[in-house]
Structure 1
Amino acid sequence: MSARELVVLGTASQVPTRHRNHNGYLLRWDGQGLLFDPGEGTQRQMLLAGVAAHDIHRICVTHFHGDHALGLAGVIQRINLDGVPHPVAAHYPRSGQQYFDRLRYSTAYRETVALREEPVSGDAAVILEGPSFALEARRLSHPVESYGYRLAEPDGRRMLPDRLRARGLRGPDVGRLQREGVLNTADGTVTLEEVSAPRAGQSFAFVMDTRMCDAVPALAEGCDMLVIESTFLDGDIRLAEEHGHLTAGQAASVAKRAGVRHLVLTHFSQRYPDPSVFEDQARAAGFDGELTVARDLLHVPLPKRH
């Protein structure tokens, strides 16, 4: 199992099909689990995909349409039923507080877990700045208020074994040098820069229901993985615009311009029975990076570092 991977729980849009459940996506990130848009049926999809309630540390809801949020009630109750030992944070549009409240308390159950409500508002908001990653939200363009999310790891440094050996450093000395940046040894002073190289942090973006707007490329910029809706094919671009969605070609064009390394297309309308067409249109739009047309229960590892 990859320490950083996307687990696809559902890939349909408004209407599920025989092969596509409503939305649901879990991002595993170094022992943290971020559950995005738990649509109806998410709890069962978790079971089929090997995802436990204990894996969830944060829930990120883009907006309160049913295919993105109706599974929230079951997920919250399962977290409490299983006695998850850590607090769970929930992020969602503040304007949808009434819907969150209804889903959280839709039926009777015993609350055993601290669920922190952390709604987002405004055009852009930094949700979290931590040592492992920062999490931000940006407002999208949809008939109801909707937010996309971006997770970014801080840049760091990669230790170079040959240089460490040359300076006689190993074991606890290496850890102390990483923490303090400088180390005094019998042979002189060693700085972190002498025995390491810069390492760019990884990034991930999640963009659901939206027509094209400034927030889409801002969220996608330089991402190692972009998970993005492509509800419609390019021939239905007017329909996409009318209902606040993207086409496969639009999503791929954004990814190409933003320098995305791995593009994951999802949220497909039931009107299209052949998913390979989405890949064809993404390639026709010029995206030449790694491309996945998502399917239910797929595990997609984040790209290896450059």
Structure 2
Amino acid sequence: MSNRELIVLGTASQVPTRHRNHNAYFLRWEDEGILFDPGEGTQRQMLHAGLSASQVTRICITHFHGDHALGLPGIIQRLSLDTVPHCVEVYYPASGQAYFERLRHATIFADKATIAPRPITKDGPLVETKGFTLSAARLEHSVDTFGFRLEEHARVQLIASRLQEHGLSGPIVGELQRKGVVEVGGRTVRLEDVGEKREGQAFAFIMDTRPCANAARLAEGVDLLVCESTYLESEHQEAHDHFHMTAKQAAELARDAKVRRLALAHFSQRYEDTHAFVREARTVVEDVVAVRDLDHVEVPKRVRVS
């Protein structure tokens, strides 16, 4: 099991189908579990996927259309039922505060969980942890909608041959990593002297939007992009009119942003088979998958310096 992977809980768009649940995507990232767009039925899909409420640390809602948010009441109530001890932060467009409140208190229940509302008012970072930054940017949809980007902080990767050249081994290596500089035999050794900067992994989540500049910014250089592809290119005009993308447009976004792996999702109920989505996207990019419910998609690892 990868410690950085997407677990797909639902891939339908406006309505669920016999084979596709409403939207929901769980990003496992080390100790974090970020639930994106919990549509109706998410709680049951989590059961099928072997996920528990206690694994959810953050919830990100792109917008308040039902297929992206109607599962929120069940998730919040399950957090209370399971007496999840940690705080769960919920990020959502600030303009939808009234909808959040209705979903937050949709029915009677013993409200025991610690839920921290984090309404989004503008583009930019939402939270910065020791390991990563979570950011949001406004997309182009018929209602207020934000996409998300998670980016691991860059770090210096130590190289064994350089450590040996500088006579470093044992506990002093850990000290160097903590402090960034050490004194060895009257010499100053800095972290960059014995390693190379390694950019962190990155992930982007883009739903319900036309192609736009902020979608490109969110996707720039990410290892895994989860992108809506509601239509095929034959319905290009319909996609535009309804503020959505085609598979080809999602692939063009991935190509231009130099994305390493593209996961297509959010399919219109008119399509029973998504092979055509993959064929269309692969005319533009190579590493692409049309995700199915309960799929696991690994965030591609960065090549390590030898």
TM-score (norm 1): 0.96
**Structure 1 pair 172–111 and aligned structure 2 pair: CA distance change class (3 A):** farther
Distance 1:81 1:175 in 2: 42
SS where residue 92 of structure 1 aligns? strand
Gaps of 5+ in 2: none
Matching residue of 1:19? 19
Alpha-carbon offset, residue 36 of structure 1 = 0.2
Matching residue of 1:274? 273
The aligned runs of 1:33-112 (5 Å cut-off) are 33-112=33-112
Letter in 2 for 1:107: T
Alpha-carbon offset, residue 194 of structure 1 = 2.0
SS where residue 282 of structure 2 aligns? helix
Alpha-carbon offset, residue 235 of structure 1 = 0.4
Matching residue of 2:282? 283
Alpha-carbon offset, residue 18 of structure 1 = 1.1
Letter in 2 for 1:90: V
Distance 2:181 2:140 in 1: 48
SS where residue 119 of structure 2 aligns? coil
Question: Which residue of 290, 294, 298 corresponds with 1:297?
Answer: 294
Gaps of 5+ in 1: none
The aligned runs of 1:133-152 (5 Å cut-off) are 133-152=132-151
Letter in 1 for 2:31: G
Distance 2:229 2:211 in 1: 11
Deviation per residue, 1:31-84 (Å, 9 max, x gap): 111100000000010111111111111100000111100000000011111111
Alpha-carbon offset, residue 187 of structure 1 = 6.8
Matching residue of 1:174? 173
Alpha-carbon offset, residue 113 of structure 1 = 2.1
Letter in 2 for 1:291: V
Matching residue of 1:185? 184
**Structure 1 pair 138–165 and aligned structure 2 pair: CA distance change class (3 A):** same
Deviation per residue, 1:199-243 (Å, 9 max, x gap): 011111000001122111111111111100000000001111111
Distance 1:165 1:114 in 2: 49
Distance 1:174 1:30 in 2: 24
**Structure 1 pair 171–83 and aligned structure 2 pair: CA distance change class (3 A):** farther
Moved more, 191-200 or 296-305: 191-200
Moved more, 36-45 or 207-216: 207-216
- 2:176 aligned with 1:195: no
Distance 2:237 2:75 in 1: 35
The aligned runs of 1:187-226 (5 Å cut-off) are 188-226=187-225
Alpha-carbon offset, residue 188 of structure 1 = 3.7
Q: Does the aligned pair in 1 maintain the 2:26–2:34 contact within 8 Å?
A: yes
SS where residue 203 of structure 2 aligns? strand
Alpha-carbon offset, residue 190 of structure 1 = 2.4
SS where residue 95 of structure 1 aligns? helix
Distance 2:91 2:78 in 1: 18
Q: Does the aligned pair in 1 maintain the 2:211–2:253 contact within 8 Å?
A: no
Letter in 1 for 2:230: T
Moved more, 127-136 or 93-102: 127-136
Matching residue of 1:132? 131
Letter in 2 for 1:154: H
Distance 1:15 1:106 in 2: 21
Distance 1:203 1:47 in 2: 27
Moved more, 226-235 or 110-119: 110-119
Distance 2:83 2:158 in 1: 39
Q: Does the aligned pair in 1 maintain the 2:136–2:149 contact within 8 Å?
A: yes
Cα RMSD, aligned residues only: 1.3
Distance 1:170 1:99 in 2: 56
Distance 1:184 1:109 in 2: 59
SS where residue 296 of structure 1 aligns? coil
Alpha-carbon offset, residue 157 of structure 1 = 0.8
Distance 1:100 1:40 in 2: 15
